[in-house]
Structure 1
Amino acid sequence: MSEKMDEDALKALKIAFTYMPKAIEVTQYEYGDRYQAVLAHIETVREILLLNDVDPEEVYGEVDPDNTPNSCY
């Protein structure tokens, strides 16, 4: 994918990403046999964010700064 997403689509992806579980929270116990598919979906979204010059770890603070803890570094 060589083209960047338009701003509205990228904003929508960022919002959706904030509601996705974090990869560390996805276990076979919680998600059953589909846990690997969930992990793959999370990784796909992370890759698209990175291709659009967005750090996935910074998305939470950008989308909902009032409910995101401050960084400790």
Structure 2
Amino acid sequence: MSEQMNGDVLKALKIAFTYMPKAIEVTQYEYGDRYQAVLAHIETVRETLLLNDVDPEEVYGEVDPDNTPNSSY
């Protein structure tokens, strides 16, 4: 992907990302045989955000600042 996404598509991806499970939450117990596919999907979205100059760790605060902790550390 050499071109960046337009603003509306990028905003939609950010919103969708906030509803995705975090990679650490994805286990074989919870997702069965699909857990590796789920992890791959999460990584694909993270990479796409990074290609569009968006820090995935900052997306939560941008999309829903009222329900996001001040720091993830």
**TM-score tier after normalising by the smaller chain length:** over 0.9
Distance 2:72 2:9 in 1: 30
- Give the deviation of 1:13 after TM superposition: 0.0
**Which segments of structure 1 move beyond 4 Å, counting only runs of 4 or more?**
none
Distance 2:5 2:47 in 1: 13
- Give the deviation of 1:71 after TM superposition: 1.4
- Give the deviation of 1:21 after TM superposition: 0.1
Distance 2:53 2:24 in 1: 23
- Give the deviation of 1:3 after TM superposition: 0.2
What runs of 5+ residues in structure 1 fail to find an aligned partner? none
Partner deviation per Cα, 1:5-37 (whole Å, 9 max, x = no partner): 000000000000000000000000000000000
Partner deviation per Cα, 1:21-68 (whole Å, 9 max, x = no partner): 000000000000000000000000000000000000000000000000
TM superposition score normalised by structure 1 = 0.97
Distance 2:14 2:20 in 1: 10
Structural RMSD (CA)? 1.1
What runs of 5+ residues in structure 2 fail to find an aligned partner? none
Q: Percent identity?
A: 92
Aligned residue-pair number: 73
Change in Cα spacing, 1:68 to 1:45, as seen in structure 2 (3 Å) is same
Distance 2:40 2:15 in 1: 18
